Chain A
Amino acid sequence: MFAACADPKAIEGLTWAMCYLTSGKHLDFYWSFVTVLGLLAITAPTALAMGFAGATASRSRFLPVSLLGKGYAAIVRGVPDIVFFLFFVIALDQGIEYLKSLAVCPDHSWPWQGLEFRVCPEAKVPLGKSSAIWHQAYGFALAVFTFALVFGAFAANVLYGAMNAVPKAQLETAEAYGMSQSQVFRRILVPQMWVFALPGLSNLWMILIKATPLLFLLGVKDIVFWARELGGSKTQAYEYPHPDWRLWYFLGLLVFYLAFTKVSEIVLARISARLSHGQATAAGEAMRKAG
């Protein structure tokens, strides 16, 4: 990056440290923080949407739909996320390509031959000739979907509880005013449930943050992957040989995660205060008295 870094083995001291910390690999490491934060930013709303769909389905009066919603939450929550990640992404990828192959392939032979999965080249997602950036984008999208699916199951559970926690009297009042079922749902239940869902959702957010080290299982190079990669001892085959420094990198990550947790706690406390305003809950009551 800098001219002084042309020959890393000849320099030492501060210059060495500066060159080392700005090597291409370290830039990738710094960039991976953006990747992880970006992934969290996309995953959280997606998971919330899935959770909302799951919770709504669970409340359905139509039995198969309600079983589907409840089954989704129960089964996905019963499996350790790590186990889920180990096989689900490959399955998902193959499923997508199989569906695409039905549409675009000339022959519809069964693609699973023994352990091999084979569809015509046109059905590959992304296509074999696509540039690397598309492969990365696709991998990222698969990771987001898988994360969202797992955390959506937890969110479904929280939102289901929150929907049940909305005081019955409020819903009955709405009905007495002549609102239809869907009006009650849209105008009363959904706006009112957030205050009850927030503690659970905040916790879920905290867990989501702490699940990011599993991203490398989904093929996304996350910060823990790079920390391990950079910290491992380096022989002379590398430009910057050094002994095992993983401890320092991991301590750095520890600080990052703690700081991220702290910031999240502060933001969530603000949201909680905003939502509690004027609510018929203990917290809302306390605010009324104080106000």
Chain B
Amino acid sequence: MKKLLLATAMVAVSGAAFAQDVVRLGTEGAYPPFNFINDAGEIAGFERDVGDELCARAALTCEWVTNDWDSIIPNLQSGNYDVIIAGMSITDERDEVIDFSQNYFPPAASAYVALSADADLTGVVSAQVSTIQAGYVAESGATLLEFATPDETIAAVRNGEAVAVFADKDFLAPIVAESNGELMFVADEVQLGGGVGLGLRESDAELKDKFNAAIQTMKDDGSLNALIEKHFGPETAKF
């Protein structure tokens, strides 16, 4: 009997090890500099570097997949990948259905960008559909204009469709910098969400612990800050 139990345990262990052989990381691939498809057609960006490093530290074999932002949580739940690493802010709503690792990017500032400094922020403000920023604009009393992609939210400001765009400051910063003074930040920054974390299924506590430990080591030895600086420039908030 003891032998039998042992054998079952062995199978269970090897089964678990077998299942953990490849951890699939799901990302969007359309949110630079967090994640994007580079010109070679590969997933690149801050999260690519962080994800690869975390997998190395946790001794996991990882594989990258891209998934549409809209169905990124249902597909995690459905088991099509094991981790969401897609610039996803930790919010209470999301935390109810999935688990988050500790954040690997500090709570980010969201900011308004407009064509002129005196833009009326109670007018039409564009934001990407189903982001925390869109929810914030709707509640702020401004008229929310929603677009499917972040690109279009910027285009809307350029062509006057919207007075301002409200999005992650880190996403907006390079665009403002390269616009030759056409676009500018207006009003104060707003802190939304609890930073960016890895999204995991609630039943995957073991995997979550591994990633949490790996993120902690990256925070401790400063390598995470180095990566943040590499992708977001020296002025971004760090740990």
Co-complex (A, B): yes
What residues make up the interface of A, taking CB atoms closer than 8 Å to B?
Answer: 8, 23-25, 27-28, 86, 90, 93-94, 97, 113-122, 124, 128-129, 132, 135, 216-217, 219, 228-229, 232-233, 235-241, 244, 246
Which residues on A sit within 8 Å (CB–CB) of B71? Answer: 86, 90
B74 and A241 contact, CB distance less than 8 A: no
Please give 8 more A-B residue pairs, beta carbons under 8 A apart, in addition to A116-B77, A244-B151.
A25-B39, A28-B41, A93-B78, A97-B79, A135-B65, A217-B68, A232-B30, A237-B231
A25 and B154 contact, CB distance less than 8 A: no
Q: How large is the interface on B (under 10, 10 to 19, 20 to 34, 35 or more residues)?
A: 35 or more
A132 and B63 contact, CB distance less than 8 A: yes
A238 and B80 contact, CB distance less than 8 A: no
Which residues on A sit within 8 Å (CB–CB) of B74? Answer: 90, 115
B42 and A24 contact, CB distance less than 8 A: yes
Which residues on B sit within 8 Å (CB–CB) of A86? Answer: 71
Which residues on B sit within 8 Å (CB–CB) of A93? Answer: 78, 80
State in angstroms the CA–CA spacing of A94 and B149 once bound together: 28
Closest 9 CB pairs of A and B: A24-B40, A121-B19, A24-B41, A23-B39, A235-B174, A232-B151, A239-B39, A28-B41, A25-B41
B39 and A238 contact, CB distance less than 8 A: yes
State in angstroms the CA–CA spacing of A132 and B80 once bound together: 12
> Which among B37, B175, B201 has the greatest number of chain A C-beta atoms within 10 A?
B37
Which residues on A sit within 8 Å (CB–CB) of B75? Answer: 90
B87 within 8 A of A: no
A235 and B78 contact, CB distance less than 8 A: no
A235 and B175 contact, CB distance less than 8 A: yes
B59 within 8 A of A: no
Tell me how far the C-beta of B77 lies from the nearest C-beta in chain A, rounded to whole angstroms.
5
Tell me how far the C-beta of B36 lies from the nearest C-beta in chain A, rounded to whole angstroms.
7
State in angstroms the CA–CA spacing of A257 and B84 once bound together: 35
A237-B32 CB under 8 A given contacts A23-B39, A132-B63: yes
A118 and B151 contact, CB distance less than 8 A: no
B155 and A244 contact, CB distance less than 8 A: yes
